[in-house]
């Protein structure tokens, strides 16, 4: 199982690219769009606020991922939406792709809809999203590119899936992974559906 930070249960991220014999690249800030690689993506809500406790915002997130799939052509291998962050394991199916463009497509859509929802229904909550900056006064997502880990072996992909599905249990939110609705666990194990469909045709072979 991958290491996690004490604060949020997310993987500790290196600020440089490191090639490991485990079949992964680990890095922040710089992305490696390599054909045939999966990508484990992690990004967080602004200020680590539990904004994804709101089911409406989770619905916006699922809609945004589906729309990004249509535009950018990628499979979802696994996912989990946590209260203040999410993990998304995807496989771009085109030779030429941009993880940055995929993330932008997802994050901008959710941010726009969620902030509009708050303006109409919970304007008092907008105070927590203020950045103090002139060019962007409100922010739904934490600034920066988040975490991006290239996945290209069966072992690395399997470990990533296990890590993702274990998040709600590690946090004490549920006793068993299948109890967390915003997760791919049930569909992967034939126990029901979730907000996103997973497709494992390109999952790395043993």
What percentage of the chain reaches a pLDDT higher than 90?
79
Q: Does any domain span residue 9?
A: no
Q: Which residues lie across from 27 on neighbouring strands?
A: 148
Q: Please check whether residue 184 lies inside any domain of the structure.
A: yes
Lowest mean pLDDT among 48-62, 75-89, 124-138, 149-163: 124-138
Helix axes 55-72, 99-121, angle to 10 degrees: 150
Domain contains 1 = no
CB within 8 Å of 172: residues ≥ 6 apart: none
What range does the domain containing 38 cover?
A: 18-188
pLDDT at 142 over 90: yes
- 46 found inside a domain: yes
CA pair distance 36, 52, nearest whole angstrom: 31
- The count of domains in the chain is 1
pLDDT in tens, 16-36: 344 444 555 554 446 899 999
CATH of the domain at 116: 3.30.70.1290
Q: Which pLDDT score, from 0 to 100, does residue 25 have?
A: 52
Confidence at residue 30, expressed as pLDDT on a 0 to 100 scale: 67
Q: Is residue 206 part of a domain?
A: no
Average pLDDT on 73-97 reads: 98
Average confidence (pLDDT) over 50-56:
98
Is there a domain that residue 204 lies in? no
Mean pLDDT, residues 96-101 taken together: 96
Is the sign of the CA dihedral 34, 35, 36, 37 positive or negative?
positive
CB 171 within 8 A of CB 179: no
Structure pTM? Answer: 0.85
Residue 83 pLDDT greater than 50, yes or no: yes
């Amino acid at each position: 199982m991958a290491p996690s930070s004490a604060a949020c249960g997310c993987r500790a991220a290196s600020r440089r690219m490191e090639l490991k014999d485990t079949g992964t690249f680990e890095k922040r800030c710089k992305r490696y769009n390599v054909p045939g690689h999966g990508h484990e993506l992690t990004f967080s809500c602004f200020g680590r606020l539990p904004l994804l406790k709101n089911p409406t915002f989770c619905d916006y997130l699922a809609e945004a991922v589906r729309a990004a799939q249509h535009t950018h052509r990628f499979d979802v291998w696994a996912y989990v939406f946590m209260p203040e962050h999410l993990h998304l394991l995807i496989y771009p199916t085109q030779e030429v792709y941009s993880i940055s463009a995929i993330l932008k497509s997802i994050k901008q859509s959710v941010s726009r809809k969620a902030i509009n929802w708050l303006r109409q229904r919970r304007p008092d909550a907008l105070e927590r999203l203020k950045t103090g900056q002139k060019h962007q006064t409100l922010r739904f997502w934490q600034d920066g590119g988040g975490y991006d880990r290239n996945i290209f072996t069966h072992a690395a992909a399997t470990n990533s899936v296990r890590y993702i599905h274990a998040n709600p249990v590690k946090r004490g939110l549920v006793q068993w992974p299948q109890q967390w609705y915003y997760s791919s666990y049930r569909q992967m194990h034939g126990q029901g559906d979730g907000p996103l469909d997973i497709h494992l045709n390109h999952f790395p072979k043993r």
